Homo-oligomer: A and B are copies of this chain.
Amino acid sequence: MELLNKHVTIRKFKDQEVDQKLLESIIYSGTRASTTGNMQLYSVVITRKEEMKAQLAPLHFNQPVAKNAPVLLTIVADFNRFSKWCTASNAEPGYDNLLSFTTALIDALLFAQNICVAAENAGLGICYLGTTTYNAGEIIELLNLPKRTFPVTTIALGYPAENPELTDRIPLKGIIHEESYQDYSNDDISGLYRFKEGLESSRKFVAENAKETLAQVFTDVRYKKADNEFFSAKILEVLKQQGFLK
Assess A117 versus B116: contact at CB under 8 Å? Given A94-B219, A183-B146, A218-B91: no
- Is the pair A114, B4 in contact by a Cβ cutoff of 8 Å? yes
Cα A44 to Cα B172 in complex, Å, equals 10
Interface residues of A in 206-246 (CB under 8 A from B): 212-216, 218-220, 222-226, 228-229, 231-232, 235-236
For A52, give the chain B residue with the smallest CB separation.
B179
| CB-defined contacts of A216 to chain B, threshold 8 Å | 89-91
Indicate how many identical chains form the complex: 2
Residues of chain A in range 149-198 having any CB-CB distance to chain B below 8 Å: 149, 152-153, 167-170, 172, 174-184, 186, 189-190, 192-193
How would residues 37 to 59 of chain A score, 1 for a CB under 8 Å from any chain B CB and 0 otherwise? 11110111111110010000000
Q: Does A66 contact B (CB under 8 A)?
A: no
Establish whether residues B105 and A184, one from each chain, have CB atoms under 8 Å apart when the complex forms: no
Chain B residues with Cβ under 8 A from A17's Cβ? none
Interface size on A, as a range, is: 35 or more
The 8 Å CB contact of A40, one of B40, B84, B175, B184, is: B175
Q: A9-B34, A89-B213, A99-B235 are in contact. List 18 more A-B contacts (CB 8 A).
A: A7-B32, A24-B176, A38-B169, A45-B180, A81-B174, A84-B184, A84-B186, A85-B193, A91-B220, A94-B224, A97-B228, A97-B232, A102-B235, A103-B130, A110-B128, A117-B117, A143-B180, A145-B181
- Name A's B-contacting residues (CB within 8 A): 1, 4-7, 9, 24, 27-29, 31-34, 36-40, 42-49, 52, 76, 80-82, 84-86, 88-95, 97-100, 102-103, 105-106, 109-110, 112-114, 116-118, 121-122, 126-128, 130, 133-134, 142-146, 149, 152-153, 167-170, 172, 174-184, 186, 189-190, 192-193, 212-216, 218-220, 222-226, 228-229, 231-232, 235-236
